[in-house]
Each structure stands twice: as structure tokens, then as C-alpha cells.
Amino acid sequence: MASIGAILFSGKAVIIKYAYRYGVSPEALLALRMLIALPMFWLVYWFVSRKKKTDPLLKMDYLKLIGLGFIGYFFSSYLNFLGLKYISVGLERIILYLTPTIVILISYFFLHKKITSLQWYAMVVGYIGVMLVFLQDVDSKGDSAWLGTFLVFASSCLYAAYLIAAGEMVNRIGSMRLVTYATSVSAIFSAFQMLFHQPATLFTQMPQVYWLSIINAGVCTVIPMFLVMIAVQRIGSSVTAQAGILGPLATVFMGWYFLDENMSLMQIFGMVLVIAAMWLLVRNREAIAS
């Protein structure tokens, strides 16, 4: 489940790049994804929680959920969608795979948590790997790769902040309820954003865009999210994170196969460095916990 979830998650970038070929805007594509995924989340949430008693949410909880939904599922996703217009899906997935390092750095600078020597070494190796993959994109896509990299990295930083902020709530209100409510907030913000970006285009896209959005919402968003959640319950977060290594590998391969993106030795070497660095971080966290 963890491996399949990682592969399906990685397919999101390929679907987005494919949809851009039909002239759809990032705003419309994000709105379609969230609005289609919303009823799916609520259906699963109702099915899972119908026999469970849940504590009522406080007013402060609703305010926090609005903030989490905006940062983690709307604004972060929007920057990611924008960035994919300028960089390859391989570089996008590699940058997002660095999210654990961003969580560690935010925790270090703002929460005053310690970083071990091994974590520092792993992060340095990981960012060297990203630079190698980035240089490959600059060579093939030019200066636009700088903008795309900045947007996707900013997206990863926002999602890392979401993970830290959500950590204090998930144990109390439940991961399923947190995701469903945060997704609902994101869908509302996405729909509101479309009011300023030709809202009629939501209903005038080519049929291929709607089919790709259904796949993006269902196969690449809802299904892998629940697969990963179940995997965490069965085998723990550390082993699930290690299975996530398949994500970048699958993305690079799918980008080469479906989008005709280059797959050079430098890109492969950079990807190996990032994967090795993230594996060390996961193993180190597991050792500290034990």
C-alpha cells in the first residue's frame, strides 16, 4: 500500500503536465482537482466515521483548520501547479521529496529542536543532489527553470509548515477528519480564486482536461492518501517513508515515458543522492525514536 501510494502520488505531476498541453490554466486545473476530490473525501470520511464517536470541534479548531487548509492544500498546491509549467516532473518530485529536511530546518530555527551531525550531512548531500537535477533542467529549459524551482520549493516549504502545524491537531481530531476539513477549505479557496480568473473556463475545457482532472483527483490524490494512511497504521511512519523512495523513481520514469523528458546520467546521479540522503534521515529518526 505504501509503495503503490507513493507511485500514484508521483503521477500527479505527469497528469498536470499533460493537461497543460490542452491550454488549461493552473487556476482552473487546481479548482477542478479540488472540487472533484471534495465529494470523494467526504464520502470516505462518512464511511469511516459513521460508527465512531468524535469529539466536537472548538471555535479555535475551525480557525486552525482554515489556516491549515489554505497553507497546506490550497496555496502550496497552487505554487506547485505554477512551478510545473517551468520545470520537469523529475525535478519537481525531487524538490518535494526534500520536505523532511525543510521540516527539520523549520523545527531547528523556530522550535529550537536539535539537529544531529548525521542529519546535517544527509541534508547537504540531498541538496547537492537537487542542484545536479536542477542543472539538467537549466540546460534543457533555460532561465525559466529558476522560476519553476523557486515556486516548487516555496510549495514544499508551505507544506512542511502545514505538517508541523497539523501535528498538534491530528492526534486529537483524527487524521481523516483533518484531511477532509482541510480539503474542503482548499476547495472553497480554489473556487473563490476562479472568480478572478475567468470562472466560465471551468465549464468550457476540452473533454481531455476533465478526464485528466478526475484521474488527478481520484487516482493521484484521494486513493494514494488513504493507502498511505492505512500503511502508516500497519507498518509505521518510518517504513512507509522508506517506501516513498519509489515516488521520485516513478516520476522520472513516467516523465521520460509519457512526456519525452530527458533522463541523463547527471539527473539519475542527483536523484540517487537525494534518495540516499532522505533514507539516512528516516533511518536516523527511527534510531533516535528507539
Q: What is the DSSP letter of 74?
A: I
pTM listed for this prediction: 0.88
Q: Distance between CA 112 and CA 76 in Å, rounded?
A: 24
101-152: pLDDT as tens digits: 888 888 888 888 888 888 888 889 889 989 988 888 888 777 888 999 999 9
pLDDT at 241 over 80: no
Q: Identify the domain containing residue 237 by its residue range.
A: 2-289
195-225: pLDDT as tens digits: 998 899 999 999 999 999 999 999 998 898 8
- pLDDT at position 104, please? 85
Give Dmax (Cα) for the chain. Answer: 56
pLDDT at 73 over 60: yes
Show the cell assigned to 250: 516513478
SS3 per residue for 187-218: HHHHHHHHCCCCHHHHHCCCHHHHHHHHHHHH
Task: Provide the CB-side half-sphere exposure for 59 (13 A, CA).
Answer: 0
Asked if 102 contacts 160 with a C-beta cutoff of 8 angstroms, the reply is yes
Show the cell assigned to 51: 460508527
- pLDDT at position 285, please? 58
pLDDT confidence band for 79 (50 / 70 / 90):
very high
Specify the number of domains making up the chain: 1
